[in-house]
Each structure stands twice: as structure tokens, then as C-alpha cells.
Amino acid sequence: MNVFVTDVGYGALVIGLLIAAYTAVAAASGAMKGYPELLRSARNGVLVAFGLTTISSAALVYAFFSRDFGVKYVTQYSSRDLDPIFTFAAWWAGQAGSLLLWAWVLAMFAMIIVVQNKEQNRRLLPYATSIMMALLAFFLLVMIFAANPFERLPVTPADGEGLNPLLENFGMFFHPTTLYIGYVGFTVPFAFAMAALITRRLDDQWIRSTRRWTLFAWFFLGLGNLFGAQWAYVELGWGGYWGWDPVESASFMPWLTGTAYLHSVMIQQRRGMLKVWNMLLIIITFSLSIFGTLLTRSGILSSVHTFAQSAVGPMFMALIGVLLVFSIGLLLDRLALLKSENEIDSFVSREASFLLNNLLLVGAAFAVFWGTVFPLISEAVRGVKITVGPPFYNQVSAPIFLGMVILMGICPLIGWRKASTENLIRNFLYPLAGAILVAAALYFALFKEWYAILAFWALAFVMLTITLEFFRGARARHRATGQDYLSALGALIWANKPRYGGYIVHIGVIVLAIGVAASQFYSASVESNLQVGDSLSIKDYKVTFLGLSQYQTQSRHVISAAVEISQPGQKPFRMNSEKLFHKEHENPTTEVGIRTTALEDLYLILNGWENDGSASFKVLVNPMVVWIWIGGVILLVGTAVAFWPDARESRRFVAQQAVARREAVVPGV
């Protein structure tokens, strides 16, 4: 039975490859030659490809649940005592399974696109489908020839090697999946952009059709990064949430360029400008998504040897090469058709400020990319291996991010075409003055460091511009309709969801940035070896060591240290930090103790212990970390608002439909 299931799974991969390749060709040639039969066939091909990847995925999940250790992948990433929830998540714990998840999500998105566009985008859809199916074929090819999740071992072991204990966390559910949804999601706008280039239909139809997909992909990529940060914070036990690990950088880069794209398409929709730039941005973003998958899943960074041993890395490099040559070549060929419909009127305008914002976002992505590849460059030029780690990224990106924050205050409110002095004063005078007051207050009450003052000044400025904008809108509505302020605010947001959703997202980013700035600038740490009854002090906390205890669970041996925390004027409370020793794994993992308040987190790490019963701790106080997660939630709310169907948009859609029907009646138009 087991062998049969995995054979079916593998067979579905092979047939899936054939179907995907056929569909890619059928959709493109059907559109080129105008054969409706071929297009119908391609449509069905997409559905079948989704069905087949679903069968493969189900087979792999079944192999995990039936503990089929004859399958190498199952042996590597699970064991008999693995919790059912994590047995499911083991699907994407390794390279081959991750690729299968990627392929499955891609096939699912292709299916949704096909169903969604039954009545619209008839000219763009076949090419977009073709591109997505070609990509699916690539992923299936990689699995079949280089990373087969169904590969069987010559001898079936009695038990598996188990899942890496660090992965046994709910982060394992949310972090990889959201990240992959983000990566794969960018395929859709990319495919439509290429379809627009191929068909020479270069109005903003392709942008409008993919607005939600872009937002969706961008949001999930951001969420994936945040989940990763949260996971690192609670599970990895080093007191931080972002370590500028190359894999983290890999998922941050497409998010940055995706953010740039999300903003600059607004200029194209509104003013018919920046067409070439938008094409370039989506090409870069998508290529970085593939690059991210490559970095995460090929082992290129952890060790050069694993990269060379597996064919996965070179195949992905080849894919990125082909993608870039194809898309840039196509773009160059159609350059003449991408002439801007308008020109910029003034340096002091929304268009110019958006350009600047784009420049900084892409610049930040470039800085991260440069840091990621610089070790290779150094080795090639000087023959010396060096490291580019957190201090580099923090120092280089700080001024860029500061500029970005300031622009976040300016961009949405500066006038289109040419901002009048009146517009500038109206929107920026109060926020600027308010932010200076905030900075002054911080300087006298809390801290003196100029860089922190500057950062919080910028954050306050943006927050005030947005607040003022909300207030003015609500007040205008209140005066016009007599609604109270709160319902006026609600109605305001509801009346223009993309715009106000965007503002809410900005608030989320600012709140998140406040958390990042505070915890980066003012975290404190103490390391100390304590006898039972001894205490250490950090900020106004007194941490007293109460003693060690140990206990056994099914798969691990746990050493637990208890401490009592007291603060002047507060009731003392207890906290624990544990070291977990796992059966199959040599290195113990740490379960940290975290006590969160709105102002700061107290973070307790048990480092080790001696035979005399003493234990060594590292205790950190990380200010305002909780605001990073709260900012993430606000981001979610804002994106949902922007995503929500909009009355104006649906009216526009009906009008489009009417045009499309007229086009269909008059042949050759």
C-alpha cells in the first residue's frame, strides 16, 4: 500500500510535468494562432495540473502519517513519536517537500487565475497561463531529476531521524507557508506583465487585473518575514528577532522591491507614467522571489559543497538567467510602446516623491543584495573570505530606512503634478511642528542620542501627517452629514478603501518601526552565574534564582530553572527558562521565559548550570518589542481594508465588461 501511494505521488509528478509543459505550449500557440479549442484545452490542462500536484502532495502527507520510513524524505524529517500537527508540517521541512509545496501553491494560483478570468482578460490570460505553467513544469522537473520527495531508501529503517526540534513550533506552520505564498504570489503580476508585453496591450489593464494579487503576495511576504521574526524571538532563544541571516535577507529583498512596485504602479494608473520602470520592478521582484527560494532551499549559503552536490542550485541559477534574459529582452523589444503618456510637472510633486521613495526602496534592496554577495566578491578579488553580518546591515540600512520613513510622511499627501506652497503648509506644517515637540520632549525626558532623536522625530512626523489626514477627512464628513466623528471616520475609510487602507498600513509600519527602533537602541543585557538565592539586577528588575528542577516528557529531557522577578512597587512573579534535550539531536534547545508589557519585554535565557546547583543566565530587557507584533496586526487590518471590494472599482469593472463585450461583437478590434 505504502509503496503504491508514493508511486502514485511520483507518477503524478511525471504526468504533471507533461501536462504543464503541454499546457504552456497549448495556451501560447492557441492564443497566437487563434484556436479556441487549444485555449479550452489549455484551460483544462491547468485544472488537471492542479489536480496532479494535489495528488502528489496528498501522497507525501500520507507517507508521513503512515510513517513510511522507506521514503528518504519521511525518514529525514519525522519519527514515530512526532506530533500529528508537526507530522503534517514536515511536508515542507526539507528541500524536496518545499519545492512540492511551491509547485502546489503555484498550480493552485494558476487555477484560480483561470477561473477568475473566465469572462475577462481574454487576450492576456493565455500568455499569463502559459508562463505560470512553464514555471510549474520547471519545478516539477527539478523534483523529478534533482530533489525527488518520493525517493525510496534501499533499506527501510525502523524509525526516522525526527524533525529538527527548532522546527517543532507553531512558527513552522505560519512562517514557511506565508513566505511561499508571498513568493509564488508574485508570479501572477509577473506573468500578466509578460503577457502584456507579448500581446503589446500595454495600457494599465494588466496592472488593474493584478492589483489584488500584488497586494496579496506583498502582504504574505511581509507576514512571512514577521512570523519568522516572531519565531526567532520566542524559539531560537538569543533575544533578538532579526539577525540579517542570508536567508532572512533573501525574503526581505523581494519585499522591498515589491513595496516599490506596489507604489509606483499607482503613478502609472493615475498618470500613465513610469511604464518601463514598473516592468523592471516586477521583473526584479519576481527574480528575487526565485532567488529567495534558491537561497533558502539550495544550501548555497550554508555550504558550498551541498550546493555543488545537488543539481537544484545550478538549475535555479539557470532559471533565473533564462527569466532575466527573456523578460528584459522582451521589455527592450517593446520599449517604443511603453512611452510615458505624461511628463513630470515639478520636482515638488507626488510623482517626484514617489520616484524618490522607489529609489530608496530599491536602494535598500540593493544594499542587502550587495551585502549578501560581497563575501563572494571579496573572495574573488582579494582571495580573502570575509563576513558581512548584522553590524554592516544595521549601519548601512539605517540611513536608508530613515529616508524612507520621512518620505512615507510626504508621499501620500504632497499634491499631484505640482504641489502648491499652500498644499505643503496645509499638510506638513502642523506635523512638522508636532514632531519637533515630540523630539524635544524625548530629548529632555528620556534620551540624548542624536540618532534615536532623529529616528523618533521622523516616526512622529509620519504618524502626525496620517492622523491629521484622518482627522480632516472625518471632520469634513462630520460637518457635511452631521455624523459623529467616529462613524464619520468609519464612513471615510469605507468610501475609499484602497487609499485609507494604505494609510492604515502606513500606521502599522510606523508602529512596527517604533518597536524596532526602541529595541535596537535601548535593549540592555546582563549575563551572570547565580547560586540559589542570589540575584542579579537589570534596569529596575531584580532577578532572583530559585533553583533548578528536571522532568521527562515522551521525547525530551528538560532542565528547568525558576526565578523570581521583583520590581519596586510591583507584585513579584515567577518565570522559567528551560533547556530541552532531545532524543535524536545532540544539541539542546532553549525555551526562553518572556514577560511582555507594553513598555518592555523581560527575556530570560538559561545558559547553563554547574554541579553545585548554580546556573548561568542571560537576561535581556528589550524595550517595546510587543509593538512590532501589534504593528503587524495593524498591517493586516490595513491590507484587508485595501483588499476589500470597492464600490467604485466594481462600477469600473462593469464599464470594462461593457467595453469588452463591444470588442467581442466587433471582430478585429
Partner 1 sequence: MFRILALIRLLAPIHSLTLIVAGPIRSLALIVAGLALFIFPTVALADTTQVDAISNELMCQCGCTMVVTSCECSTAAQMREVIQTQLGEGKTKTDILQYFVGQYGEAVLSAPTKEGFNLTAWITPFVGILAGLGLVYLILRAWLHHRRQVVQEVLPRFQADLNVYNDRIERELELYS
Give the type of residue at 589. T
Dihedral sign computed on CA atoms, order 60, 64, 66, 68? positive
Q: What is the per-residue binding string for partner 1 in 78-107, x denoting contact by CB under 8 A?
A: ------------------------------
Supply the DSSP string of 548-617, one letter for each residue.
Answer: EEEEE-SSEEEEEEEEEEE-TTS--EEEEEEEEEESS-SS-EEE-EEEE-SSEEEEEEEEEE-TTS-EEE
> CA-CA distance, 515 to 509, in Å (whole number)?
10
Q: Which stretch binds partner 1 (CB under 8 A): 45-53, 70-78, 391-399, 639-647?
A: 391-399
Distance from first CA to last CA of the chain, Å, rounded? Answer: 57
- For residue 587, the minimal CB distance to partner 1 (Å) is 7
Task: Choose between 120 and 340: whose C-beta lies nearer to partner 1.
Answer: 340
- For residue 351, the minimal CB distance to partner 1 (Å) is 9
List 14, 344, 532, 636, residue binding partner 1 (CB under 8 A): 344
Q: How many C-beta atoms lie closer than 10 Å to residue 209's C-beta?
A: 23
Site for partner 1 contains 355 (CB under 8 A): yes
Q: What is the per-residue binding string for partner 1 in 293-332, x denoting contact by CB under 8 A?
A: --------xx------------------------------
- For residue 104, the minimal CB distance to partner 1 (Å) is 29
Q: What is the per-residue binding string for partner 1 in 515-544, x denoting contact by CB under 8 A?
A: ---------xxxxx------x-xxxx-x--
Q: Are strands 593-596 and 535-538 parallel, antiparallel or unpaired?
A: unpaired
Radius of gyration of the chain (CA): 27
Q: Are strands 600-609 and 615-623 parallel, antiparallel or unpaired?
A: antiparallel
147 touches 99 (CB < 8 A): yes
CA 299 to chain CA mean position, Å = 20
> CA-CA distance, 105 to 185, in Å (whole number)?
9
Q: Which stretch binds partner 1 (CB under 8 A): 52-60, 208-216, 366-374, 545-553?
A: 366-374
Q: Which stretch binds partner 1 (CB under 8 A): 142-150, 181-189, 243-251, 626-634?
A: 243-251
Residues of span 607-626 touching partner 1 by CB under 8 A: 607-608, 618
Task: Choose between 381 and 666: whose C-beta lies nearer to partner 1.
Answer: 381
- For residue 444, the minimal CB distance to partner 1 (Å) is 16
CA 239 to chain CA mean position, Å = 22
- Residues 475, 478, 483: CA angle, nearest 5 degrees: 145
Residue 152 DSSP one-character state: B
- For residue 425, the minimal CB distance to partner 1 (Å) is 23
- For residue 509, the minimal CB distance to partner 1 (Å) is 20
Three cell numbers written together for 399: 540611513
Q: How many C-beta atoms lie closer than 10 Å to residue 319's C-beta?
A: 20
81 touches 554 (CB < 8 A): yes
Bridge partner list, 609: 615
Total residues interacting with partner 1, rule: CB under 8 A:
62
Site for partner 1 contains 352 (CB under 8 A): yes
Longest dimension (CA), the chain: 90
Residues of span 563-592 touching partner 1 by CB under 8 A: 566-568, 587, 590
Task: Choose between 451 and 471: whose C-beta lies nearer to partner 1.
Answer: 451
Site for partner 1 contains 362 (CB under 8 A): yes
Q: What is the per-residue binding string for partner 1 in 212-241, x denoting contact by CB under 8 A?
A: -------------------------xxxx-
List 54, 346, 467, 483, residue binding partner 1 (CB under 8 A): 346
CA 183 to chain CA mean position, Å = 8
Dihedral sign computed on CA atoms, order 428, 429, 430, 435? positive
Characterise 483 by phi-psi region: left (phi > 0), alpha (psi -120 to 50), beta (else). Answer: beta
Site for partner 1 contains 243 (CB under 8 A): yes
Characterise 369 by phi-psi region: left (phi > 0), alpha (psi -120 to 50), beta (else). Answer: alpha
Task: Choose between 144 and 546: whose C-beta lies nearer to partner 1.
Answer: 546
Site for partner 1 contains 16 (CB under 8 A): no
List 65, 307, 326, 366, residue binding partner 1 (CB under 8 A): 366
List 396, 398, 454, 532, residue binding partner 1 (CB under 8 A): 396
Q: Rule CB under 8 A: which residues touch partner 1?
A: 237-240, 243, 245-246, 301-302, 343-347, 352, 355-356, 359-360, 362-363, 366-367, 370-371, 374-375, 378, 381-382, 384-392, 395-396, 400, 524-528, 535, 537-540, 542, 566-568, 587, 590, 605, 607-608, 618
